């Protein structure tokens, strides 16, 4: 179960590499130090993503970010953050294996996601992300383009999410 194309939306499990949960104070000083350590912009607006050289930050809450990066960058990022720990107290937790990402692409992608997500996807801008709920399960949703989304759910919930998405995709194909 890694790809699926029985409907208008192409679904695939994505390899996301390293993923960290960052909690840090929101003073400009702390954020600037975190940006330097991470090597990509870190914004304080909920839903905003900062990208540079394969690394990406997504602001989930007032003091919570999820950082993603290629697998090879995992150790350097942890080391860089350990270096700012004394001056800027924070928590950086490696959650690479906690979640699995599903890429969704196709013109009907909002119709497919709307089967399980209650937020207004038409008003969800490209390049943004948020934590929300899909069919009762907490997920992190990112919109990369008008017809491309990425959904991340905790590992043990993924079989259910995947099943619901593939079934929904078949329903869309059949026009039900």
Partner 1 sequence: MVPTMRQEATMLLIHCPYCDKTLPEVEFAYAGEAHIVRPADPAAMSDEAWRDFLFIRTNARGPHFERWRHVHGCARFFNAVRDTVSDRFLATYKAGAPKPDLATLLAETERAR
| 138 interacts with partner 1 by CB under 8 A | yes
Pick from 40, 22, 21, 27: nearest CA to 90:
22
| 132 interacts with partner 1 by CB under 8 A | yes
**Single residue of 119, 127, 146, 163 touching partner 1 by CB under 8 A:** 119
CB of 4 to partner 1, least distance (A): 25
Q: In whole angstroms, what is the distance from residue 55 CA to residue 60 CA?
A: 16
CB of 66 to partner 1, least distance (A): 12
Distance of CA 119 to the CA centre of its chain: 16
Q: In whole angstroms, what is the distance from residue 40 CA to residue 55 CA?
A: 6
State the DSSP H helix or E strand holding residue 167, giving kind and residue range, or none if neither. helix 158-174
| 126 interacts with partner 1 by CB under 8 A | no
**Single residue of 35, 64, 105, 144 touching partner 1 by CB under 8 A:** 64
| 130 interacts with partner 1 by CB under 8 A | yes
CB of 161 to partner 1, least distance (A): 14
State the DSSP H helix or E strand holding residue 149, giving kind and residue range, or none if neither. strand 148-154
Q: Is 37 exposed, middle or buried (0-12, 13-18, 19+ CB in 10 A)?
A: buried
Is 134 or 162 the residue whose CB approaches partner 1 more closely?
Answer: 134
Q: What is the contact surface with partner 1 in residues (CB under 8 A)?
A: 46-47, 60-62, 64, 118-119, 130-133, 138
């Amino acid at each position: 179960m890694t790809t699926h194309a029985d409907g208008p939306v192409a679904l695939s499990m994505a390899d996301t590499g390293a993923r960290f949960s960052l909690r840090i104070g929101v003073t400009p000083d702390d954020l600037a130090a975190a940006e330097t350590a991470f090597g990509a912009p870190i914004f304080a607006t909920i839903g905003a993503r900062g990208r540079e050289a394969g690394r990406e930050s997504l602001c989930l809450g007032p003091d919570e970010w999820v950082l993603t990066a290629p697998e090879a960058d995992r150790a350097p990022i942890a080391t860089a953050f350990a270096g700012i720990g004394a001056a800027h107290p924070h928590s950086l937790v490696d959650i690479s294996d906690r979640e699995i990402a599903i890429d969704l692409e196709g013109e009907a992608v909002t119709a497919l996601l709307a089967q399980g997500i209650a937020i207004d996807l038409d008003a969800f801008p490209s390049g943004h992300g948020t934590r929300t709920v899909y069919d009762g399960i907490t997920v992190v949703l990112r919109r990369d383009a008008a017809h491309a989304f990425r959904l991340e759910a905790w590992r043990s919930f993924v079989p259910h999410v995947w099943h619901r998405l593939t079934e929904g995709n078949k329903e869309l194909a059949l026009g039900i």
